[in-house]
Each structure stands twice: as C-alpha cells, then as structure tokens.
C-alpha cells in the first residue's frame, strides 16, 4: 500500500508547489495608489491629472513609466474607452480631455475612471473621479487709481457660486506670488475683488495673474489667466555686446587693446632691429 | 700671438666631455627618458595620471614653472644690471648667467605645455587668446623674454666665435660652425659700434621684460581670489624671490664648471665672495617680502587666511614651509655673513640649499592655497582635498629639471664658458695679440 501511495503523494506535493509559486508570483506585484484631479484652465484646456505611487522597499516611491487606461463612465456600469496615459519619472501623468470626450450624466456630473490593467509590476486597480462643470472669468480693473483683479465663478448654467475660495497669484519664474489674502471668498455674485497694491516688475511691463479655485470637491481645480501691461518694465542690463573684461577677443576693452599692443610693439620693433643689426654686422 | 693670449684661448675654448661628463649626460638622458615615458602616458590617458583634481588644479608642474621663470631672471641680474652699472668683475660669470637664463626660460615654456590637458589645442591660445587674461600676458612675455635672452647670449658670443674660428684646436666641423656663427666678425670699428650699441639696448630692454615676466607670473596667482594669493605685494615678492633663486643657481653652476674645467684662474674666490655678498642682500630683501606676505595676514587672521596660514605654520605643510624659510633663507644669510662662508665650497653648499629651498617655496605658494579655497567645493571625495603628486608627475618634473641641466651642459660643451674676448680685453691682451698678428 505504501509503495502505491507514493506517486500520488509526490504528485500532490508538486501541485502544492506549483500553486504556492503562482500565489507567490501574484504576491510580488505591487499595489499602486492612484490619485486623480480634474484641472480646467479657462480658454485653454481641461485634463485629468494622474498621480501614482507604491510602497516599495524604501518606502513610498513614484510609479514611473506606468500605463493607465482612461474611461468615461456612461451609465453606472458602462465604460467608454477614451485613451491611455503614461506616468513620468515622478509617477505623474496628464490626460487631456478633448471636447468630444466630455459628456455628463443627466445631473451634469462628469465621471471618469483611470485603470491599471494587465501590468507586470502592478496589480489591476482603478480609480474614478466625478466633478461638475464651472467657469471662471477674470479681469483687471482700476478703482481709485489702483489696479484690482476681479474674478467671477459660475456653474455650467451661469449661476454665481457663492462661498467658494479663490486664490490670486502673479506668475513668476518659479511659481506664483500670492496677491492679497491666501483665500478670497466669493460673494453672492460669485465674485472677488483683490487690489494690486505694489508695483511689480514684468517683461515689457506685462504681468500675468492667475486666479484659481483649488481642489474643490465639486468642481476640481479651475484656473483663469490674464495678462495686463500694469507692471514696471524690466530694463535689460546685459553687457553682451559691450567691451568688458569677460568679453570674447573681438570685444576686448580698448585700453587693453591699445596699451599692451603699444608695449608689445615697443619691445618687438627694437628686437627686430637688433636682429637686423646681426645682418648688418655680417655685411660690414 | 702672445703666449698669455694663446693660453687664455686654450683655457677658455670649449672642451670635450671627460668620463664624468659622459656619465652626467647619460644620467640626464635616462631621467628625461623616464619622464618622457610618463608624459606619453599623460598624453594617452590625460591629466588623470597626475594627483591634480578639482581642488589642486595646479600642481607640481605649475610650481616647477614658477621656479624656472624665477631662475631665468638671473640673466637680467648678472648680465644686464651688473653690465649697465659698469661692474668689471662680473665678466667671467655673465655667460654662465645667460646660459642658465636661456635654459630656464625654454623649460618654463615647455612646462606650461606639459601642464596642458590637451596640448594639441595649444594654438588656440594664440588664435582665441583674450588680452583680458593674464595667461595671454604670460605667453607674450615669456616668448619675448626667450627671444631677448637668446639675443643677449648670442651677441657677446660673436667675437668669441670669431676667435674660435681661427684658434680652435678641435674638430674642423665645429670650427666651421663657429665660423658661420661669427657672422664674419672681424672687429672693425663699424661692427664694434653696432655690437656695443646692440648689447647696451638689449641690456636695457631685458630688465623691464624680466621684471614683467615674473610680475605677470605673480599676477596669474594674484588675480585669482584665494587665501594666500590675495595680495598686492605678489609682483615684487616674486621678483625678490627670483633674484635669490637665480643668483643661487649661478653660484652653483659657477662652482661646478670651475672645478670641472679648471677655471680657478678666471672664476676666482673673489667672484664667489662678491656673489656671496649679493646673495646676502637678495636673501634679506626676500625675507623682508616674506615677512610682509605672512605677518599681516596672520595679524588679521580672517577665517580662510587663518586656515591657510595654520596649514603652513603648524599644519600639513609646516615642515616644508619652515625648511624653505630657515634652510633656504635664514641660515644662508647667517653663513654668508662670514667671509669663510663665502669661500667657494661653503658658498656652493649654501647656493644648493637656496635653490632647493626656492623650488619648495614655489610648491608652498601654489599647493596649500588651492587646498583652502574661499568657497569649498561640494560633493568631492575627501582625498581630492589633499594634493600629492604621483610618481609619473614627479618623473615628468624631474625630466624637465634634467632637460634644463642638459641644455646648460650642451651649451657649456660647445660655447666658451667665460667670454674670451672680454676677458682678454680686461687683461690687456687683445692689443698685444693684434700687434703680434700683424708682425
């Protein structure tokens, strides 16, 4: 009996091994944590910002070079494929929503799903985002000789959105310089009015302001930009075309051209004459 | 021809190498060949074979270059300054000084090329050189000084070549060369007039150019904002140091040549005594500049200067620093103050100490400063903060020193060490000789 049962038990052990290896290989896949945000830049574009990270051996790491499938949710259980996006080295990707891709449900809510599917490194997962459409208009006005930034936030139907917090910033090289309060609450007209008290420098006097509704649960992030020639023009102080100590040879300062060359001539002309004197000696 | 004149020509004519001379030549050639091998490696692999890194980007090559420039200044000291001030006793040592100057300035130029990571781009210095850069000033001044030094060596040789053309007992081939190089010198009044005027012009010209060459070399450091180099005193400080090194080199070579060629009758104890006195004066002058260079920064002791000075006085470079100052300046002065210290042998030993001290002094000027910049370089390995020349670097450096000695040896082999005509004139033999020739 013993002898007969041996192949069967060996087969069972083999099956167990196969199963454990399969389970182990499944366990080796990481679980990506995906976060989504909707960003709308007025008169420019609207996109879904995707950010993914995973818990690696050294803590949380960005999930780079990861492909996402983007779907639009039509009904509660129906998805329409919109396209793909791939994360960069920081684990971030951007999926631009073209006008043809936008379609809300009957209550005016847009829902999109981002999914990781059939990835060798990460387990399948998905994340959805829902938001309502809103619009932001911005303008520069002068009140009592002071420039003001005014912005109006409305929903898709044009109704004013009261009680939302907008932020006003002046675009600089490495980010935005906050103008006024950190958050400005919209009034019953959905509007804010922020004075620009200081004179700000800008290229040719042009200043670009950004008003934003940041990470609203209902509307996502909405930004509006406006440029106006209300700054102090930056005067370029380049010495590129001048004769300086750090210029190329053809822009040597004149005094450094004149005096050293005079000295060189003052030494080398007599030296050449002295050479000639050797010739004179040989001929006399 | 008078016997005395004949004897003088025999004594001062170039002589073949003896066994010791041949061994000396072989030794120099071997050292040069080892250095040449290392330089080929440097050309192939780049400056990575040296100890130079981000901190010490000027190493032993540049300190060696400054040393050569310093030694070359001796040509202007002995030849021009003493000649213009009408000093008669210096005649027997002028040729030695001129030969040392030519050898040193040739090697200074070559050492700069050796220091280049890409010597194949050397022409760019001339094509794209900017007059705003002290490096271009150095290139111009070194070229000019080399040219003047060669002329100052060659002009006084014309009458000697003429004498050798007639009276040299050696090979006909060599005599033929002397004949060509004499440029038909026959001592006519017109030739004499051109010759005298030309030497006077050269003697006047070489002084400012010699000062310029070492001042500009000092400016290479001075215009770089670093502890130890940030001084307005560097030009005269370098010139004073160069005079010391150059005079020391002349004394050392004088002693060796006098002993090798039996020139005791021409290079006398009195010459050593006078050169010894000049050395004392020059050493004291250089000491004065050293006190200025180190005392005031020590008094102020700004953070970076204090770190730099600490490394010199009591730190990593203390042994080198104090050896160079005490062994290369203070002790020589103390020895040379006594007449017995100015005798040929003691003076030779002192001169060697001065020359070796002068070499290390340049090392101390260049390296410690580079190790302590105002803005420490971030993210470099700790080993890069300390410079230590590699054996290949040393072998190339020794090869340049050997090459300078080889140039001196070869010039001494084929040129009269002591000016024949000038010595004969001073001893009143020329007129006798001419009369005898006529009769």
**Other beta carbons less than 10 A from residue A239's beta carbon:** 11
**Other beta carbons less than 10 A from residue B427's beta carbon:** 13
**Other beta carbons less than 10 A from residue A62's beta carbon:** 17
**Other beta carbons less than 10 A from residue A197's beta carbon:** 11
Say yes or no for a CB contact (<8 Å) between A284 and B205. Answer: no
Mean pLDDT check: name the lowest of A44-53, B51-60, B70-79: B70-79
Q: Is A173 on the interface with B (CB under 8 A)?
A: no
Residues 6+ apart with CB under 8 A from B37: B395
Q: What are phi and psi of B158, to 5 degrees?
A: -55, -50
Q: Which of A124, A102, A126 is nearest to A114 (CA)?
A: A126
pLDDT tens digits along B149-187: 999 999 999 999 999 998 888 889 999 999 999 999 998
Task: State the nearest Cα–Cα gap between A266 and chain B, in angstroms.
Answer: 10
Does residue B433 carry a pLDDT above 70? no
**B63-86 as b/e: b if 16+ CB within 10 A:** bbbbbbbbbbbbbbbbbbbbbeee
Q: Given 3-state DSSP classes, what are the helix, strand and coil percentages for chain B, each rounded to the nearest 5?
A: 75, 0, 25
pLDDT for res B78: 81
Instruction: Measure Cα distances from B34 to B28, B307, B395 in Å.
Output: 10, 38, 6
* Closest B-chain CA to A270: B201
Q: How confident is the model at residue A8 (pLDDT cuts 50, 70, 90)?
A: low
Give the whole-angstrom CA distance, residue A241 versus residue A234: 18
B202: chain A residues, CB-CB within 8 Å:
274
Q: Is B188 on the interface with A (CB under 8 A)?
A: yes
- Per-residue pLDDT, averaged over B388-395, amounts to 96
Evaluate whether A33-132 and A134-233 have a shared fold: yes
Identify which of B148, B194, B209 has the shortest CB distance to residue A280.
B194
Q: Is B184 on the interface with A (CB under 8 A)?
A: yes
Q: Is A269 on the interface with B (CB under 8 A)?
A: no
A251: chain B residues, CB-CB within 8 Å:
none
Give the whole-angstrom CA distance, residue A30 versus residue A51: 15
Q: What is the DSSP letter of A205?
A: G
Instruction: Measure Cα distances from B1 to B9, B11, B64, B83, B437 in Å.
Output: 11, 15, 48, 29, 6
Q: List, in sequence order, every residue forming a beta bridge with A184; answer none if it has no partner.
A: A166
- Domain segments of chain A: what residues? 33-132, 134-233
Q: How confident is the model at residue B438 (pLDDT cuts 50, 70, 90)?
A: very low
Say yes or no for a CB contact (<8 Å) between B148 and A271. Answer: yes
B364, B221 contact by CB (below 8 A): no
- Per-residue pLDDT, averaged over B385-398, amounts to 95
Candidates B124, B125, B129, B130: best to mutate against A (most CBs of A within 10 A) is: B130
Give the whole-angstrom CA distance, residue B402 versus residue B408: 10
pLDDT for res B375: 86
In terms of Cβ atoms closer than 10 Å to its own Cβ (0-12, 13-18, 19+), residue B416 is: buried
Within 13 Å and on the Cβ side, how many CA atoms surround B163?
A: 28
**B265-275 as b/e: b if 16+ CB within 10 A:** ebbeeebbbbb
Task: State the nearest Cα–Cα gap between A244 and chain B, in angstroms.
Answer: 9
- Domain segments of chain B: what residues? 3-375+386-422
Candidates B125, B129, B131: best to mutate against A (most CBs of A within 10 A) is: B131
A246: chain B residues, CB-CB within 8 Å:
132
Give the whole-angstrom CA distance, residue B375 versus residue B380: 13
Say yes or no for a CB contact (<8 Å) between B130 and A275. Answer: no
Q: What is the DSSP letter of A251?
A: G
The CATH superfamily assigned to A134-233 is Immunoglobulins (2.60.40.10)
Q: Which of B397, B324, B391, B322 is nearest to B51 (CA)?
A: B391
pLDDT for res B437: 43
B185: chain A residues, CB-CB within 8 Å:
281
The CATH superfamily assigned to A33-132 is Immunoglobulins (2.60.40.10)
Instruction: Measure Cα distances from B205 to A265, B141, B147, B170, B213 in Å.
Output: 13, 12, 11, 36, 12
- Per-residue pLDDT, averaged over A126-140, amounts to 93
B201: chain A residues, CB-CB within 8 Å:
270, 274
Q: Which of A77, A73, A84, A68 is nearest to A35 (CA)?
A: A68
**B144-183 as b/e: b if 16+ CB within 10 A:** bbbbbbebbbbbbbbbbbbbbbebbeeeeeebebbbebbb
User: pTM for the whole thing?
Assistant: 0.74
Task: State the nearest Cα–Cα gap between B92 and chain A, in angstroms.
Answer: 24
User: Hey, what CATH topology would domain B3-375+386-422 get?
Assistant: Formate dehydrogenase/DMSO reductase fold (1.20.1630)
- Per-residue pLDDT, averaged over B300-314, amounts to 93
Identify which of B147, B183, B194 has the shortest CB distance to residue A271.
B147
A257: chain B residues, CB-CB within 8 Å:
131
Say yes or no for a CB contact (<8 Å) between B140 and A284. Answer: no
Q: Is B202 on the interface with A (CB under 8 A)?
A: yes
Give the whole-angstrom CA distance, residue B273 versus residue B251: 10
* Residue count (chain B): 439
B204: chain A residues, CB-CB within 8 Å:
none
Mean pLDDT check: name the lowest of A70-74, A77-81, B194-198, B251-255: A77-81
B346, B354 contact by CB (below 8 A): no
pLDDT tens digits along A13-27: 666 666 555 555 555
Task: State the nearest Cα–Cα gap between B77 and chain A, in angstroms.
Answer: 19
- Per-residue pLDDT, averaged over A264-270, amounts to 96
pLDDT for res B37: 97
């Amino acid at each position: 009996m013993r002898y007969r049962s041996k192949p069967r038990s060996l087969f069972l052990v083999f099956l167990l091994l196969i199963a454990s290896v399969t389970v182990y290989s499944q366990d080796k896949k990481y679980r990506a944590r995906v976060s989504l945000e909707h960003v709308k830049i007025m008169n420019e574009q609207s996109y879904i910002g995707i950010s993914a990270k995973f818990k690696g051996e050294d803590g949380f790491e960005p999930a780079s070079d990861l492909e996402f499938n983007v779907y639009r949710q039509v009904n509660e259980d129906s998805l329409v494929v919109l396209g793909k996006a791939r994360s960069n080295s920081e684990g971030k990707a951007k999926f631009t929503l073209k006008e043809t891709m936008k379609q809300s449900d009957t209550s005016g809510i847009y829902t999109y799903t981002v999914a990781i599917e059939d990835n060798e490194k990460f387990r399948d997962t998905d994340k959805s985002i829902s938001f309502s459409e809103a619009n932001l208009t911005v303008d520069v006005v002068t009140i009592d000789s002071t420039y003001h930034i005014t912005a109006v936030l409305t929903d898709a139907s044009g109704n004013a959105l009261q009680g939302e917090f907008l932020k006003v910033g002046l675009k600089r090289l490495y980010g935005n310089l906050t103008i006024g309060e950190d958050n400005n609450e919209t009034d019953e007209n959905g509007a804010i009015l922020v004075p620009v008290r200081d004179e700000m420098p800008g290229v040719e006097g042009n200043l670009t302001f950004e008003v934003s509704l940041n990470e609203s649960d209902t509307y996502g992030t909405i930004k509006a930009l406006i440029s106006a020639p209300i700054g102090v023009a930056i005067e370029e102080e380049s010495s590129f075309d001048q004769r300086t100590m750090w210029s190329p040879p053809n822009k040597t300062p004149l005094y450094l051209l004149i005096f050293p060359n005079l000295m060189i001539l003052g030494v080398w002309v007599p030296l050449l004459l002295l050479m000639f004197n050797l010739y004179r000696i040989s001929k006399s | 021809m008078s016997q005395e004149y004949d004897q003088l020509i025999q004594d001062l004519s170039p002589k073949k190498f003896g066994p010791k001379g041949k061994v000396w030549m072989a030794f120099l050639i071997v050292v040069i060949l080892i250095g040449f091998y290392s330089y080929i490696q440097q050309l192939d692999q780049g400056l990575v074979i040296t100890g130079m890194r981000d901190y010490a980007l000027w190493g032993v090559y540049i300190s060696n270059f400054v040393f050569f420039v310093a030694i070359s200044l001796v040509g202007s000291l002995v030849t021009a300054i003493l000649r213009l001030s009408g000093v008669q006793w210096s005649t027997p040592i002028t040729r030695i000084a001129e030969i040392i100057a030519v050898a040193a300035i040739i090697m200074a130029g070559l050492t700069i090329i050796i220091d280049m990571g890409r010597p194949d781009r050397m022409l760019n210095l001339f094509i794209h050189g900017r007059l705003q850069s002290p490096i271009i000033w150095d290139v111009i001044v070194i070229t000019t000084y080399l040219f003047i030094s060669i002329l100052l060596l060659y002009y006084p040789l014309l009458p000697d070549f003429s004498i050798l053309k007639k009276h040299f007992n050696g090979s006909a081939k060599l005599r033929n060369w002397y004949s060509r190089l004499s440029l038909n010198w026959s001592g006519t009044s017109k030739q004499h007039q051109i010759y005298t005027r030309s030497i006077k012009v050269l003697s006047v010209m070489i002084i400012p150019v010699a000062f310029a060459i070492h001042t500009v070399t000092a400016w290479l450091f001075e215009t770089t904002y670093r502890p130890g180099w940030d001084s307005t005193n560097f030009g005269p400080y370098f010139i004073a140091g160069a005079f010391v090194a150059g005079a020391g080199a002349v004394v050392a070579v004088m002693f060796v040549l006098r002993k090798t060629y039996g020139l005791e009758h021409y290079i006398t104890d009195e010459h050593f005594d006078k050169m010894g006195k000049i050395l004392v004066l020059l050493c004291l002058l250089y000491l004065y500049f050293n006190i200025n260079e180190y005392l005031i920064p020590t008094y102020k002791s700004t953070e970076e200067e204090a770190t730099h000075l600490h490394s010199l006085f009591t730190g990593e470079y203390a042994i080198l620093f104090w050896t160079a100052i005490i062994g290369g300046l203070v002790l020589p002065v103390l020895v040379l103050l006594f007449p017995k210290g100015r005798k040929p042998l003691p003076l030779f030993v002192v001169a060697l100490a001065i020359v070796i001290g002068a070499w290390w002094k340049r090392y101390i000027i260049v390296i410690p400063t580079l190790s302590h910049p105002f803005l420490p370089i971030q993210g470099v390995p700790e080993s890069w903060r300390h410079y230590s020349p590699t054996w290949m670097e040393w072998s190339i450096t020794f090869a340049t020193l050997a090459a300078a000695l080889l140039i001196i040896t070869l010039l001494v082999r084929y040129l009269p060490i002591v000016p024949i005509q000038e010595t004969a004139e001073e001893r009143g033999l020329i007129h006798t000789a001419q009369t005898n020739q006529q009769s």
